[in-house]
Structure 1
Amino acid sequence: MATLLKLHMNENLYLKDPQDTDLGRKIVSCSIQLIDELGLEAFTFKKLSLEIDSTEASIYRYFENKHKLLVYLITWYWTWLEYRIEFETNNIQNDLERLERALQLITEKKCYDNSFPDVDETALQRIVINESDKTYLTKQVDMDNKIGLFRGYKSLCNGIAAMVKAINPDYPYAHSLISTCLQAAHQQVFFAEHLPSLTDYSCELEEVYPRNYSFIRHLVINAIQK
């Protein structure tokens, strides 16, 4: 039987923790499917309420608006990714191998994780690729940052930057490099599908993710080698 886990999320991301109730988990699960299908612009709480056979008011008890819901979903993804990196690199002693495994995990095509049965990680990765920039390209970004809404993303970046520092303590741009790579890991997949002249990847999905890892690894290792 699968062990069900709960990720620790900043309480400012929600009004009521959706991980604690059946309705909350259903809101998260169905919102991932709808945003993946419709896009954020066409997604509404009214459409979500019909999908979960409940009321808009019940959704507003969990999330203030759809922007906050999106930030929650994207932050859940970063937090889950950090958990996977910590779990899968914990017993790797070689610093370079640890970094390479982390880069593999951020660039690979995501599959269903049965430890979190209410989340479709494959669909959520597509949302991150298509919608994640919208979480911080807003007028309220400084306020959102002040109350810690981007803590999951920053924690993930800090963890991988620490791996870079373990290999080359003198490299002065560890955080800049890793935040750029986290962005590129998803942006290049978007480009391959929609704006192919901006990337060197084929739009064939079987090729995109391995090529993405190869590119990100090349970028990082060549930058930090002494």
Structure 2
Amino acid sequence: MDQLLQNLKIKGNEKTFLKDPESTDLGRRIIEHSIQLINEIGFESFTFKKLALQINSTESSVYRYFENKHKLLLYLSSWYWSWLEYQLVFATYSLQDPEERLNKAIEIVTRTTEEDSTYSHINEVVLNKIVINEFSKSFLTKEVDFENKEGYFQIYKRLVNRIEKMVTEVNNDYKFSKSLASTILESALHQHFLREHFPTITACDKPETTTLFLTELVEKALKN
């Protein structure tokens, strides 16, 4: 278990940055304050100029780490998925029953995010809000096919594949295991978004209701 978790490092996708922000104090401040600022004003209004003012630095210093704000969003998203993958592996590794393991995985990826004190410069609660509200903007672009081919979404896809493996362990005859796995992740984000912004079109009025909804949905799909 220790060896597995050591090999599973929590980090953003290396293709998204020019210089690793985790390697310097300035880089970590860029990450910390970009999370705060994107959450406050939204990704559309976010600029490196505004970020530079927040961290009392220059716009050019931010560009030394990230080519543009799209790459920064890709970095933040991939870091979040890497962190979530770590939580999932840690929580499910010792579980022997396939159904219990899958249900625990659903709980991990749908539950309310709690701040992890291990990473003082990253507020996982706020980052979760950004992923819920902004993640789709990282791939709804003309460049998505190229970026996918280049491996920008590798961590996200790896997490989907972990869940897909758990699905097949419950029911190896189920034909749509990969689709179901990706639906779990996407639906979790979507239901949290609806609860926050369009509460009249979702029954998931509490964070835990999303977990119950998707657990029941998966259970019925695999039993049928």
Could you tell me whether the CA contact under 8 Å between 2:11 and 2:78 is conserved in 1? no
Q: Deviations over 1:178-223 (max 9, x none)?
A: 1111111011111112122321133xxxxx2110000110111111
- In the alignment, the residues of structure 1 paired with residue 195 and residue 11 of structure 2 have an alpha-carbon distance, to the nearest angstrom, of 33
Match of residue 169 from structure 1 = 172
Which of 134, 139, 149 is 1:136 aligned to?
A: 139
TM-score by length of 1: 0.92
1:186 aligns with 2:189: yes
Could you tell me whether the CA contact under 8 Å between 2:13 and 2:79 is conserved in 1? no
Could you tell me whether the CA contact under 8 Å between 1:165 and 1:171 is conserved in 2? yes
Query: Residue 137 of structure 1 aligns to a residue in which SS?
Result: coil
Structure 2 counterparts to residues 87-166 of structure 1, below 5 A: 87-166=90-169
Percent sequence identity over matched residues? 49
Residue 29 of structure 1 aligns to which amino acid in structure 2? E
1:37 aligns with 2:40: yes
Worse overlay, 17-26 or 156-165: 17-26
Query: Residue 169 of structure 1 aligns to a residue in which SS?
Result: coil
Match of residue 4 from structure 2 = none
Which of 179, 197, 213 is 1:215 aligned to?
A: 213
Residue 106 of structure 2 aligns to which amino acid in structure 1? L
1:71 aligns with 2:93: no
Note the C-alpha offset of 1:6. Answer: 5.4
- In the alignment, the residues of structure 1 paired with residue 9 and residue 165 of structure 2 have an alpha-carbon distance, to the nearest angstrom, of 25
Note the C-alpha offset of 1:9. Answer: 3.7
Which of 18, 21, 32 is 1:18 aligned to?
A: 21
Over the aligned positions, Cα root-mean-square deviation in angstroms equals 1.3
Count of aligned pairs between the two proteins: 217
- In the alignment, the residues of structure 1 paired with residue 68 and residue 191 of structure 2 have an alpha-carbon distance, to the nearest angstrom, of 29
1:198 aligns with 2:196: no
Question: What are structure 1's unaligned runs of at least 5 residues?
Answer: 203-207
Q: Deviations over 1:49-105 (max 9, x none)?
A: 011111111110110100110011011111110011111111111111111111111
- In the alignment, the residues of structure 1 paired with residue 13 and residue 84 of structure 2 have an alpha-carbon distance, to the nearest angstrom, of 16
- In the alignment, the residues of structure 2 paired with residue 27 and residue 174 of structure 1 have an alpha-carbon distance, to the nearest angstrom, of 38
- In the alignment, the residues of structure 1 paired with residue 166 and residue 193 of structure 2 have an alpha-carbon distance, to the nearest angstrom, of 27
